[in-house]
A = this chain, B = another copy of it.
């Protein structure tokens, strides 16, 4: 049995989303996995948010593994739809893994997207005075810890030529590092 991987990420919002999907599907195949994408649904589903939601939940329940594109999206953190799905699959007890084309620490990300960071009494604050988590992690502590908890893999690789949001290099690294997909 080939193991199936649910592949979540903000790359669905790219203009060339279907091309990126095909490349990721091919990389999965190369390493003995079958990639399941949120967009693997009837075209007619696209107009109805509830149906997309239901289809994604059904795919996540069906998949053996979850692999999440945690590249920052519209701010210093991962895409919140992707993160919802990470919480969903982690809670189901499925193996979860992540990848990102951005390896900078969270504090620097906040600075890059939000402006100057202030340090006071050993704590960092953004320009609104909101404290910045400081655990030398790349994003909110719930994400990385969910992945590492059961021995998941989190790869980062800066995209120099390709689209940073697709994070194809980090994706390839992640998939080739997974325990091989051929079971039984």
Contact = CB atoms under 8 A, between A and B. Distances in A.
Nearest to A50: B145
A142 B74 contact: no
A88 to B, nearest CB: 4
A34 interface: no
A75 interface: yes
A21 to B, nearest CB: 14
Interface stretch (A124-132, A150-158, A167-175, A176-184): A124-132
A182 B6 CA distance: 40
Interface string A82-118: 0111111111100000000000000000100110000
B110 A74 contact: yes
B165 A130 contact: yes
B130 A10 contact: yes
Contacts of A135: 49
A56 interface: yes
Interface string A133-151: 1010101111111101100
20 contacts: A14-B130, A15-B125, A49-B145, A53-B145, A53-B149, A74-B75, A74-B110, A74-B113, A75-B113, A77-B79, A77-B80, A79-B140, A80-B83, A80-B143, A81-B141, A84-B87, A87-B87, A87-B90, A89-B91, A91-B92
